[in-house]
Structure 1
Amino acid sequence: MPQQLTLRVRPRLAAVAVLLLLAFVAATARTATAATPLTVAQAVATQNNSVQTVRGYIVGEPVATSTVNRSGFTDDLAVALADTAGETSTSKMVYVQLTTQWRSTWGLRTHPANLGKQVDVTGTLTAYFSHAGLKSPSAISAVGSTPNPTTTTTSPTSTTSTTTSPSPTGTATGPYDSTYYAPAIGKTGSALRASLHSIIRNQTVLTYDQVWEALKDTDQDPNNPNNVIEIYSGRSIARSDNGGGVDQWNREHVWAKSHGDFGTANGPGTDVHHLRPEDVTVNSTRGNLDFDNGGSPVAQCTGCLSDADSFQPRDAVKGDVARMILYMAIRYEGDDGWPNLEPDESVGNGTAPYIGKLSVLKAWSAGDPPDAFEKRRNQVIYDTWQHNRNPFVDHPEWVGAIWP
């Protein structure tokens, strides 16, 4: 009897031992995977839209596909990581998008001392600035630090996208690519620019009076259809409270109408792709200033800065401003009786048909991608008012394809 009992128990013990061994192996594998971030070299080679943690040193601020500032930082919208703190080759870097919740802690303009720090960043491995990138980060922490809400957090509002990043050469990815943008798909550089100009110049031209009604529609407050949202201040104000009085809203030319001296005549002066509601006082402060970073706080416009030669809007609309300016440069090429508008690197353009700074505008566009409000606005303009689109709202990667 004892011998039979022993025979029954041993197989059960063996089975339990096997299960424990398998569980241990699986747990060990999971722990090893979780504890081993990718190197930057691995991240550069693994741009497959997967969510990964990457470890590297902060080596600068990316401002273009192959340009990284290592001093004189212009904004808090992105950082570049490398496997060594002294790396200068952009081909060995991964560009990290800093969405709103990370900018005040990790942005180099605000915290230049972050340069050289080793960090772990969790995000989506996909192109950024038409370069190997890590987007929509859900966690950032200094290596060796104790996690705290300031330095490392899993963002409760962040979402992970597995959508393939649009190609900088114009690969079809959008709903209008097989129709409206069909002639532009597959092109880049000057060919893409010329094609987009031919497409978007076909529009219904509004009068300056019609702009009032258009803006009441295009800039409607999504939480209150009786109001509009002012672009720089972000204030929600009654759509009927328009005019020239203090605390009313009026028609702001984002591309200042004196830059090219086109005024309010039908055409660039009435193109609602760059006309927005704004508080009368804030509109006056902006005047015809070029766009750049820095300055002193602007009254009635939280987050806005201004100095003698430039204006900086609040973070939430920096990309909107950039894409409006770049739309104007593509739409008005000097071949239809209007000035040839161009962005440049100056902040003293006067009445010349230029506006700056291009490098800053590109960084703003990359750091503040189109949101639901901007996309709806583009659609309403297309469907109801001008029947043309801002291509940089539909394809923000085309900014780098035209202005590398």
Structure 2
Amino acid sequence: MNTTRRRVYGTVAFMLVVSLIMMYFTITPSFADGSGTSSSPFSVNQGIANQGSTGSVEGYIVGKPVSTSSVTTSDFSDDYAIAIADQVNETNVNEMLFVQIPSPFRSEFGLQSNPSLLGEAVVVSGSLTDYFAHTGVKSVSDMELSDGGGSGDPNDPGDGEPSPYDDTYYSSAVGKTGSALKSELHLIIDDHNELTYSEVWDALRVTDEDPANPNNVLLLYSGRSQSKYENGGNVDDWNREHVWAKSHGDFGTSMGPGTDIHHLRPTDVTVNSSRGNLDFDNGGSPQSEAPDNYYDSDSWEPRDSVKGDVARMIFYMAVRYEGDSGEVDLEVNNLVNNGSSPFIGKVSVLKAWNEMDPVDSFEENRNNVIYDQYQHNRNPFIDHPEWVEAIW
């Protein structure tokens, strides 16, 4: 009898333990990493799917909400909100979370005060609930920048992917940051073959060849594919655009900065004229022949798909030309209307463009062609876009 009771009690106890284990896994939330712990934040898509709960979400800052269905990426009017997404270049508002920023975090995370945060990865903790009548995060208890490793775009320049040139060309620069990195990169890229201004024509026919049509080049601002030999000064010709405007430092077309094809690109004559020597910033009116580009009296905004290209060319020039060997010292600043001074801005906008528009195969090929066939130096910010943030 006692043996029978023990067996019954043992069976009941075993069933109770099993029931408790099953209850635990039933009520324990499933987090972003599937581990059942809160060690990893939700992605933005998971945050959208889990509205009504409380937790942390990681995403890229892609703009500021201005209405239920609209996000702005420039001219930020306040520091009260940000929009985050899983992709650094996301434009679909339905793929975003709108985050209400409480006052303790506004000075550090608001875009009016910190426009350079556009494109940065952030982890936000709070209530996953509508904000601006849109899926969002409110009652935020914590905000912190992250490396974007939890979710998002694997091509983001913050990922620090190694370059095949790290063990050779960049070996003395790897591991450095700040002014030490800038100085070392200058030494690496400083000495190179210099072209004459007339030689630039033939070089651009190779560096900017249309991958879909070897008889054409792709024009930087318009994106138009045009015959390699329709170049010159006529209205619909293409000519040699100095992305770092040659009047910013007054170096003209002399060998060196005036002929450095890392920043010289084919552009439509009329569009080139509209850009002139304007600094870079967001906003303005569409250029009539290239309406995806915007400009006003003091700045030029290129089309989205070459924003990063433009930024990385500018950062290259600021490292390559440091004032030694009798050359001009070019530097980026956070101003427009720089005129003939050897400066170009805005650095905060250029940094955001570097992150919003990752390096693509056309840009990589161009860098390789310049290195292999023409100047024999590289643009380090194409090989390592994250070095922009490491320096500036």
User: Contact 1:259–1:354 at 8 Å: present in 2 too?
Assistant: yes
Are residues 399 and 224 of structure 1, via their aligned partners in 2, closer, same or farther at CA, if it must alter by over 3 Å?
same
Cα distance in 2 for partners of 1:246, 1:30 equals 69
Counterpart-to-counterpart distance in 1, 2:336 and 2:180: 28
Aligned equivalent of 1:33:
30
Cα offset for 1:240? 1.2
Letter in structure 2 aligned against 1:284: S
**Contact 1:76–1:104 (CA under 8 A) maintained in structure 2:** no
1:188-213 deviation line (CA, Å, top 9, x unaligned)? 01110000000001211111111111
Give the counterpart of 1:334 among 296, 317, 323. 323
On the 8 A contact 1:58/1:116 being kept in 2, the answer is no
Between the aligned partners of 2:358 and 2:156, the Cα distance in structure 1 is 15
1:232 is aligned to 2:229: no
Partner in structure 1 of residue 260 of structure 2: 271
What is the CA distance between 1:115 and its match in structure 2?
4.9
C-alpha separation in 2, matches of 1:212 and 1:30: 68
- Is structure 2 residue 377 aligned with structure 1 residue 393? no
Deviations 1:63-95 (A, max 9, x none): 9xxxxx899x99639x9xxxxx989xxxxx997
Partner residue, 1:186: 175
Aligned to 1:353: 342
> Is the Cα–Cα contact under 8 Å of residues 59 and 116 in structure 1 kept in the other structure?
no
**1:75 and 1:217, CA in 2 relative to 1: closer, same or farther beyond 3 A?**
farther
After superposition, the Cα gap between the structure-2 partners of 1:342 and 1:142, relative to the gap in structure 1 and judged at 3 Å, is same
Match of 2:193 in 1: 204
Aligned to 1:76: 73
Measured in 2, the distance between the counterparts of 1:59 and 1:179 equals 35
Pick one of 354, 364, 377 that aligns with 2:353.
364
Which residue, out of 242, 254, 259, partners 1:253? 242
Aligned-residue offset at 1:53: 3.6
Q: Partner residue of 1:177? A: 166
**What amino acid is the match of 1:76?**
T
Displacement after TM superposition at 1:56 (Å): 5.4
Deviating beyond 3 angstroms after TM superposition, the runs of 4 or more aligned structure 1 residues are 28-32, 34-39, 41-44, 50-63, 73-77, 93-101, 103-108, 128-134, 141-147, 158-167
Q: For 1:99-138, what aligned pairs fall within 5 Å after superposition?
A: 99-102=88-91, 114-116=98-100
Contact 1:166–1:173 (Cα < 8 Å) also in 2: no
- Residue in structure 1 matched with residue 276 of structure 2 by the alignment: 287
Q: Which moved more, 1:97-106 or 1:280-289?
A: 97-106
Q: Which moved more, 1:323-332 or 1:367-376?
A: 367-376
Q: CA RMSD in A?
A: 4.5
Offset, 1:399? 0.3
Is the 2:44–2:84 contact (alpha carbons within 8 Å) kept by the matching residues of 1? no
Structure 1 distance, partners of 2:231, 2:349, is 31
Give the secondary structure class of the aligned counterpart of 2:215: strand
1:124 aligned partner: none
Give distance in 2, aligned partners of 1:116 and 1:37: 27
Deviation of 1:174 after TM superposition, in Å, equals 1.3
1:183 is matched by which residue type in structure 2?
S
Cα distance change of structure 1 residues 103 and 316 upon mapping to structure 2, 3 Å threshold: farther
Q: 1:33 to 1:302 in 2, by over 3 A?
A: same
Task: State the number of aligned residues.
Answer: 326
Residue 189 of structure 2 contacts residue 377 of structure 2 at CA under 8 Å; is this kept in 1? yes
Query: Sequence identity of aligned pairs in percent?
Result: 50
**Partner Cα distance (2:157, 2:279) in 1:** 34
- Opposite residue 219 of structure 1, the aligned amino acid is D
Letter in 1 for 2:100: G
> Out of 230, 233, 253, which is 1:241 matched to?
230
For the 8 Å contact 1:298–1:305, the answer to whether it is kept is: yes
Question: CA contact under 8 A between 1:347 and 1:357: conserved in structure 2?
Answer: yes
Question: In 2, distance between residues paired with 1:309 and 1:370?
Answer: 27
Residue type of the partner of 1:269?
A: G
Deviations 1:213-272 (A, max 9, x none): 111111111111111111111111111111110111000000000000000000000000
- In the alignment, is the contact (CA less than 8 A) between 1:58 and 1:115 conserved in 2? no
- Do residues 307 (structure 1) and 291 (structure 2) align? no
CA 1:38 to 1:245, structure 2 compared with 1: closer, same or farther past 3 Å? Answer: farther
Deviation at 1:116, TM superposition (A): 2.2
The answer (yes or no) to whether the contact 1:297–1:303 under 8 Å persists in 2 is yes
Distance between the aligned counterparts of 1:292 and 1:286, measured in 2? 12
2:309 is matched with which residue: 300, 315, 320? 320
Q: CA deviation at 1:31?
A: 10
| Alpha-carbon separation, structure 1, partners of 2:29 and 2:379 | 47
Q: Which residue of 1 aligns with 2:202?
A: 213
Secondary structure in 1 matching 2:30? helix
Q: 1:36 to 1:385 in 2, by over 3 A?
A: closer
Residues 1:315 and 1:281: Cα distance change in structure 2 (over 3 Å): same
Helix, strand or coil at the partner of 2:309 = helix
Local SS of the residue matching 1:225: strand
